[in-house]
Amino acid sequence: MSDAYLALEDGRVVEARGRAPGRTRGELVFTTAYTGYEESLTDPSYEEQVLTFSYPLIGNYGVRSERFESDRIHPRAAIAREFTEDVVDWLDEEGIPAIDHLDTRELVTSIREEGAMKCGIAVGPDATPEDAKEELDACKGMSEHTDIGAQVSVDEPAVYEGGDEATVALIDCGAKGSIIESLCDRDATVHVLPYDATREDVEAVDPDVLFISNGPGDPKNFEAAEALVDSYIGDLPVAGICLGQQVVANALGGTTEKMAFGHRGVNQPVRDLESGRVVMTTQNHGYTVGEPGDRLDVTQVNVNDGTAEGLANDELGVLTRQYHPEANPGPHDSLDFFDDVLDLVSTDAAVATSD
């Protein structure tokens, strides 16, 4: 056991048990998920954040790499009421500071009441409250991470062969691996392109659909992806998930805004406005679409707060989701989104043939 201190933006310093040593800083957020800690910790959307688990025991079914969403842990640090040794060993191996034996219920309540906040963490035998405060003082707001895409995106294009149903140009703003798997499972071949890909990069792929992935931070900082949407809209079907929905909205005249504490968990209810059907969804985002603009229709909303969960324009061939239809470990109520995306391709081809 080692000393650990968590310095919060509201002025408090919380003492905890240190499980993996180090000093770091980030935006303090929480997830309500009670399973899927491996998926959460490897989700690129948590880049530059400190992840608090509201469920009290994290690690009770071990750590298996086949559940990972990327090749590394993305949160700057991890907090729980109690971590098992399996998770601690994993965090320690990757150099991610971890603390437990603190009141996570109070921490989550503070975030809900005050909003996601900056924090600093110091863990180790010689750690002091002042060390944690120094980290807090150096912490930047999420919107200040203007090139966060470079931290989570591929450096070079990659191809995942799924079949000849469609060719997808996936702009990697921090894509979860299960998005690629979901498309490949439907016989699509996926070309993963860097977050700052140009129109020439996309043209080299000759895709049937442009897909903007999830990712961390402020969607306004993903200007290259927004420019691609603006360039291809009306000429190519466009789809997006999570940050991808926000980027599409910004490109088509909508607005995005930061949420107080975001949606992070596996039990967010979403209602489809046409069918009235409600599905449970996995979500991980701190920004949302404020106004969709004149070119996009809101098709789905969050039951709890009314925020936009789905956008579409049938004439332009646009379809987006704020939540994660490909969610691992679940729920899988909305996996048909990927079928609908590939239907955009067949519809677009039929229109082109008739013309």
324: DSSP letter: B
Identify the helix (H) or strand (E) that includes residue 182: helix 177-184
> Which residues are catalytic, by number?
242, 324, 326
- Each residue of 63-74: b (16+ CB within 10 Å) or e? beeebbbbeebb
Distance of alpha carbon 55 from alpha carbon 51, whole angstroms: 12
Q: What are phi and psi of 102, to 5 degrees?
A: -130, 165
Other Cβ atoms less than 10 A from the Cβ of 259: the count is 14
Quickly tell me which residue has 């807090």 as its tokens: 136
3-state secondary structure of 5: strand
Q: By the 8 A CB rule, do 187 and 164 touch?
A: yes
Distance of alpha carbon 25 from alpha carbon 118, whole angstroms: 7
44: DSSP letter: G
- Each residue of 131-168: b (16+ CB within 10 Å) or e? bbbebbeebeebeebeebbebbbeeebeebebeebbbb
103: DSSP letter: -
Quickly tell me which residue has 């596996």 as its tokens: 266
Other Cβ atoms less than 10 A from the Cβ of 62: the count is 11
Other Cβ atoms less than 10 A from the Cβ of 267: the count is 12
Q: Which two tokens stand for residue 205?
A: 């792929």
Beta bridge partners of 297: 312
Nearest CA to 281 out of 322, 240, 238, 338 is that of 322
Q: By the 8 A CB rule, do 246 and 217 touch?
A: no
